[in-house]
Amino acid sequence: MNYDETVTYLFNCAPPFQQVGSAGYKEGLSTTIELDNHLGNPHRKFRTIHVAGTNGKGSTSHTLAAILQESGYKVGLYTSPHLIDFRERIRVNGKPASKEYVVDFVERHKGFFEPLQPSFFELTTAMAFNYFAMENVDVAVIETGLGGRLDCTNIITPELCIITNISLDHTQFLGSTLAEIASEKAGIIKHGVPVVIGEAVPETKAVFSHKAEEEEAPLIFAEEEALLISATPAEEGYEYVTKSYGTIMGELGGDYQKKNTNTLLSALRILVEKGYRITPESMRKGFTNVCSLTGLMGRWQKISDSPKAVCDAGHNIGGIEYIAAQLKKQKCKTLRIVFGMVSDKDITGVLRMMPKEATYYFTQASIKRAMPSENLKAIAAEFGLKGDCYPAVKEALLAAVADSDNEDFIFVGGSCFIVADLLSSLEK
């Protein structure tokens, strides 16, 4: 098989959660442990940092990896989902795993894993850990997939755990309350391993405190440390004033990045205490160049200057809350929103927050879980959101651009799969 055939094979033999929803979810660590044993326990051959949370874990993971790269470390980065190419999930110093590696891994090990029937994420995690071991990385930043306690990345014993925040998402798997979801995310906390909590409310704080006490793990609430003094919007991104590193420029532009930055500052303090060589200069370069260093896409990403257009992969209540507030602050003649969602999200909760003074271009991503645009339009109308339907993201964006002048602002989002389709179409 060539690379394209191999990726198609992976999608067909173990359909990913992002494509099929609950049918792609497999609870527990037993299959992951079998895969890991078969590969010679590669996860034990490098240091790790484990990142969980409902929102922000992708930006946090990429920024941390960028800072470690600028500090001179060879850094593995494992994130999900991918937006354009499967290999985005597995990177070393920002460079995706080679196509040859993906093909060879599948050919070499499919005789073992086919009878095991792992989930797509279990198989991808094993592939990533094996690659990082082969590449002799110094440290790998590992983002959880869904949850924490039973997430297949949870076989690692990291040097630091980070839990960015908790909001209601994937409730069919993780629980219907913030406390229940926090309990699942807190499952990554290991004995004696420091854990940084980015955001907490009384309901989740009690859960984290109890788990950390059980595991004798040093617990840091980033909001209480408040190492970020101020954040001022810049032409691109934010200017941050920090307690320990002075003024730094953050490349990422979403309002929610202020919370991520405060979380990262607490995490960096712990890593420095543990002996990591992180200088103010490497920290600044990492924050300023995170996209070019790691390949991060889809975080308040500018796709056009005239008219100004951005996309963002935020897709649940916690993420859309910040996006909707930021959209309402845009100074423009007409706000135009290309929007689509997947059927298993809290659609009414999201639509309730979206700005009413906007023209909508309802569309759908090219996955089975996508809500048909006509259905989304009908629900949106109940919240005073008006617009037309388009069969695909590309057509919706073209319509929005055709309707715009240079004083308008276009936003594309609602789902990471909407952003994935958008970025794929722009590459062609």
pLDDT one-digit tens code per residue, 140-149? 999 998 778 9
Cα 13 from Cα 114, distance rounded (Å) = 8
Q: In the β-sheet with 301-305, what is the strand arrangement from edge to edge?
A: 301-305, 308-312, 409-413, 335-339, 359-362, 386-389
Q: Is 332 exposed, middle or buried (0-12, 13-18, 19+ CB in 10 A)?
A: middle
Cα 419 from Cα 111, distance rounded (Å) = 35
For residue range 319-354, list pLDDT tens digits in order: 899 899 999 999 999 999 999 999 988 899 999 999
- In this structure, the chain runs to a length of 428
> Positive or negative CA dihedral for 117, 38, 34, 172?
negative
355, 383 Cβ separation under 8 angstroms = no
Q: Where in the chain is the domain with CATH 3.90.190.20?
A: 301-427
317, 349 Cβ separation under 8 angstroms = yes
Task: Provide the β-strand partners of residue 311.
Answer: 301, 412
Proportion of the chain above pLDDT 70, given as a percent: 94
* Neighbour count for residue 100 (Cβ, 10 Å): 9
pLDDT higher than threshold 60 for residue 304: yes
CATH top-level class of 3-294: alpha beta
Cα 79 from Cα 57, distance rounded (Å) = 9
Cα 232 from Cα 234, distance rounded (Å) = 6
> What is the residue whose two structure tokens read 């590969």?
39
Distances (CA, A) of 102 to 82, 108, 273, 325, 356: 15, 10, 37, 41, 46
Element (H, E) at 8: helix 3-13
Q: Where in the chain is the domain with CATH 3.40.1190.10?
A: 3-294
Q: Is 5 exposed, middle or buried (0-12, 13-18, 19+ CB in 10 A)?
A: exposed
Region 106-113 average pLDDT:
94
Q: What is the CATH number of domain 301-427?
A: 3.90.190.20
- H helices of 71-199, where? 99-116, 120-134, 171-174, 178-185
- The verdict on pTM exceeding 0.85 is yes
pLDDT higher than threshold 50 for residue 18: no
Cα 127 from Cα 114, distance rounded (Å) = 14
Q: How many angstroms from the chain centroid is the CA of residue 162?
A: 13
Cα 164 from Cα 264, distance rounded (Å) = 9
417, 342 Cβ separation under 8 angstroms = yes
Cα 94 from Cα 77, distance rounded (Å) = 8
Question: Is the pLDDT higher at 253 or at 67?
Answer: 67
Q: How many angstroms from the chain centroid is the CA of residue 421?
A: 17
Residue among 51, 50, 270 at smallest CA distance from 157: 50
For residue range 21-65, list pLDDT tens digits in order: 444 455 679 999 999 999 999 999 999 999 999 889 999 999 999
For residue range 240-294, list pLDDT tens digits in order: 999 989 999 999 988 889 999 999 999 999 999 999 999 999 999 999 999 999 9
Question: Is the pLDDT higher at 133 or at 81?
Answer: 133
Task: Provide the β-strand partners of residue 143.
Answer: 51
Residue among 142, 136, 167 at smallest CA distance from 79: 142
- Terminal CA-CA length for the chain: 24
Q: How many angstroms from the chain centroid is the CA of residue 391?
A: 26
Q: Is 151 exposed, middle or buried (0-12, 13-18, 19+ CB in 10 A)?
A: buried
Cα 101 from Cα 107, distance rounded (Å) = 10
